[in-house]
Amino acid sequence: MQNLVKFRFLNFAFFILTVAFVLSSCTWLENAKETAVIKDTVLRYNKMLIEAAKTGDVGPLKGILVQKESEKLYFWIASWHDSQVYMDGKIVNIHFNNITLSGNTAEVITSEDWIYEYRNLETGQSVQPASEIHYDMEYHLLKKDKTWIINEIKVKSEKKQEETGNK
């Protein structure tokens, strides 16, 4: 009888450990999936930023940014276009240093290397030589209706390299 109780206890303990392992594996897989979607959101934002800087159209960014960030971006880009220039940017490297998930919010820390050149809006001619800039960035995201959107963008540090001439 005592051996039967031990056997049942061991089987129950094994069952509990198995369930705990399966549940933690599911959580890990879900976090990995969410992390990949969050990275994709930041990458898409940067790609759309480059295009918006050229065209002046921030409309496509409205689906990936909250309104206050979209408005800030609009005024930033509009000020260049009012001066008859646009930013011709290229992201050379982006490294995701840390992604922290907490419910429906996420914080993303990146290191980014960019090359910028300012060009005349009508002719496309360079009006300022290209320069390399390294940014340490912080993105805050919210999950709304199963979609991650950027709620806030902070430049933590910015280091300009020497001018590179042409891209």
What is the Cβ-side half-sphere exposure of residue 112, based on CA atoms within 13 angstroms? 23
What is the Cβ-side half-sphere exposure of residue 104, based on CA atoms within 13 angstroms? 8
Residue 81 and residue 55 in contact, taking contact as beta carbons nearer than 8 Å: no
Task: Please give the domain boundaries of the chain with CATH numbers for all domains.
Answer: 2-165 (3.10.450.50)
> How distant, in Å, are the alpha carbons of 16, 22, 24, 114 from that of 19?
5, 5, 9, 47
pLDDT (tens digit per residue) in 64-108: 999 999 999 999 999 999 999 999 999 999 999 999 999 999 999
DSSP state, residue 104: T
Region 12-25 average pLDDT: 52
Q: Smallest Cα–Cα separation from 106: which of 156, 55, 26, 33?
A: 33
Alpha helices in the chain (DSSP H): 2-55, 67-82
Give the pair of three-digit tokens for residue 15: 């069952």
Q: How confident is the model at residue 63 (pLDDT cuts 50, 70, 90)?
A: confident
pLDDT computed for residue 167 by the predictor: 44
Give the pair of three-digit tokens for residue 27: 């959580």
pLDDT (tens digit per residue) in 124-137: 999 988 999 999 99
Higher pLDDT, 149 or 28: 149
- Report the C-alpha gap between 116 and 122 in whole angstroms: 18
Largest CA distance in the chain: 92
| pTM of the complete model | 0.78
What is the Cβ-side half-sphere exposure of residue 68, based on CA atoms within 13 angstroms? 4
